[in-house]
Amino acid sequence: MFTDPYTDAPRNHWTPGLDAWAAALRDDIALKTVVARHRVSFLTNTQALIHGDLHSGSVMVTDDDTRVIDGEFAALGPVGFDLGAFIAHLLMSWFAQSAAGEAARSQCDWLLAQVVSFWERFDRQFRALWEAHAEGGDAFPASHFKTSAGQARLATIRHETVARIFGDTLAYAAIKIIRRNVGFAQVADFLAIDDLPARAHAQAGALSLARSLLLAPQAFPDIDAVATAVSRHALAGLDPASLRPQGRAARP
């Protein structure tokens, strides 16, 4: 995930027409630097027990129960990794559905709503659990923040922590999208598009969004900004220069 798509790895493959995108990703030092930083975080940041391969195909749902399966890649890692993986697959499904044009408008709208809902629900639940179990926390024990000033500072710490997780989430989503389009493991959403030029254009849009998430994270202060940007990146062409990231690029 963090290495092969950025090299000439023999297992890499992509839809005909995406050669320029694959080459651009291999040659982009700034982008590979951002990816490397998140590779280091994935290897060293043991925030939580993560699933390691979370996407809609790993979630089984009935009317009264939900189970997550295929946990063979579970490990201690950054919280944003699973969140990013799940959002990445929703976004890739959006780009795949967009190839059908107006006929898929309602499905595309639903997918973007799920992206927003997924993050917002995590944000609310994460903060609520932290507040509910503040006394038992090891990192920021409530006993250290008893005064009104301390409580205000603890609220700021919670906000900053969630903001860092959000930044990680978008970066890992982008890295997952890149891997799923020019790496070894492809996704059925795109492979189901028989029209190869249409498939390549849909995937180019996903790659364009991924590049922007990595190189211009300041353009995505919240999840609504991501949802808003999706349709713009759907206009990206097979030439990677057709739609450059907005804003100043992240520093190498």
Higher-pLDDT residue of 243 and 132 is 132
Q: Name which of 24-33, 53-62, 174-183, 205-214 the model is least confident about.
A: 53-62
Cα 130 to chain centroid, rounded:
23
Grade residue 52 by pLDDT with cuts at 50, 70 and 90: very high
Which CATH class for the 4-133+169-242 domain?
alpha beta
Q: Is the pLDDT of residue 247 over 70?
A: no
Question: 230: part of which helix (H) or strand (E)?
Answer: helix 223-233
Read off the pLDDT band of 245 (50, 70, 90).
low
Tokens representing 105 are 């408008």
| Residue at token pair 């949802």 | 227
> Dihedral (C-alpha) 45, 29, 222, 186: value to the nearest 10 degrees?
-80
* Residues 121-143: tens digit of each pLDDT: 999 999 999 988 877 778 888 88
The predicted pLDDT at position 139 comes to: 86
> Are the C-beta atoms of residues 50 and 79 closer than 8 Å to each other?
yes
For residue 141, the model assigns a pLDDT of 86
pLDDT of residue 252: 46
pLDDT at 251 over 80: no
Q: Please give the full DSSP string across 18-52, using - where no structure is assigned.
A: -HHHHHHHHH-HHHHHHHHHHHHHHHH---EEE-S
For residue 235, is pLDDT > 90?
yes
Break the chain into its structural domains and give their ranges.
4-133+169-242
pLDDT of residue 108: 96
pLDDT tops 70 at residue 147: yes
